[in-house]
Amino acid sequence: MAIKSFIYNPVQTRHTSIVLRSAIASRLILITLIILWRSLFSPYDTSASINPNCLSSNTTTNHPIRFPHIASSIEDGIVWDSVYFVRIAQCGYEYERSYAFLPLLPICISLLSRTVFEPLIPLIGHRAVLGLSGYVLNNTAFVFAALCLYRLSLIILKDPDSALRASILFCFNPASTFYSSIYSESLYSLLSIGGLYYLMSGKINFATLCLALSGSARSNGVLNAGYICFQTMHQAYDAIFLQKHAFLAVKVLTAGALRCLCIFVPFIAFQAYGYYNMCLGHFPDELRAWCKARLPLLYNYIQSHYWGMGLLRYFQLKQLPNFLLASPILSLVLCSIIHYVKLQPEIFFSLGFLASPEDKTSSAVLISSGVDARSNSTYFSGKLSSKIQRGPKTWKDFGFADLLKKWDGIRHPHLHF
């Protein structure tokens, strides 16, 4: 079975253990540093102390708690955007600006606080339990995201050692503090990376579900529909020009359009929910400007009205220090893209249409387009072996022999789960 082949592969099992330990260690180190610096210095943001009662009539009465110092320590970590996420989990969407924060993380925090951590409410209070739920949820999601990244990297990089290095770098990335705080980055990363892993594994329906859920964690989750579009584009090309099957192309395009729609649905539904709460049932003179727009998008209005955000509006001279701070990573990304363009110019500039059948099969581009994943794997294996037996003759042939040696028995990780 595919599952057993992944679990009992010695190299992958050892690497998975290393990634797991690295992810857990990075979270423990980061949380320790956060606690240390907060105890030594006064926080720049003081919003943690702002906690008015909920506007709803069913506000929970505050009861005395047994460990106020522990509760205070946890609540001191509810700052910046964490204030909004915890507030939404506790009271729901009360104010217009709170709709800038999508509901998946608050829903998960609320569910966790009402189930697993509910016995702690009399000890440290409801808000502290919500904060603790957020920290546990996000740090756990980060660990699983790191494991998913390793499996995804095995498929893309085709090299266990490179996949391991990529996963460890993710565990200690410069923006790591956001993945351990009560932000939506960890949950979004888990769903996005997990969705891509299942997409590359040929499990298209489960991938669509994960990518759709990512759109209910962060607004840019709707961009993940681009992966479905890219795969659909290649599948339709294969059906029309290679298989000469027009009906299959229509079927592929229809399925791809429906899957993309599924990814957009959570974000669109949340905008409709905001419109229902903020616009319907009000007199015309009481309506906000965005309610009267031809396309009433609450999210765009909030970003522009309250935070001055919008398309390319962040690119201002006053943001130069932030760009300098990000310059090392931006430089690394740019160099990586340039290196790939020089290494694979035909694939890059043709958007993969000029890629060899082996490359298309190994990257799972044609999976789920009527071509069986296992037959694709067999085809790739045969082509790979024949190239190695002949010896490298062209630039495309170089590297396959080394690839087979590096695998050391790990074959076709995109078929393993």
Q: Give percent of the chain with pLDDT exceeding 70.
A: 82
Q: Which residues of 277-315 are buried (b: 16+ CB within 10 A; e: fewer)?
A: ebbeeeeeeeeeebbeeeebebbbbbbeeeeeeeeeeee
Q: Cβ(167)–Cβ(149) under 8 Å?
A: yes
Checking if the pLDDT of 348 tops 80, the result is yes
Q: Please give the structure tokens belonging to residue 282.
A: 């009000």
pLDDT, position 198: 95
pLDDT band with cut points at 50, 70 and 90 for residue 70: very high
Q: What is the rounded average pLDDT of the residues 293-316?
A: 86
Q: What digits encode the pLDDT tens for the residues 75-127?
A: 988 988 999 999 999 999 998 999 999 999 999 999 999 999 999 999 999 99
The whole-chain average pLDDT of the chain stands at: 83
Q: Please give the structure tokens belonging to residue 206.
A: 């489960």
Q: What digits encode the pLDDT tens for the residues 20-34?
A: 999 999 999 999 998
Give the residue extent of every domain in the chain.
319-415
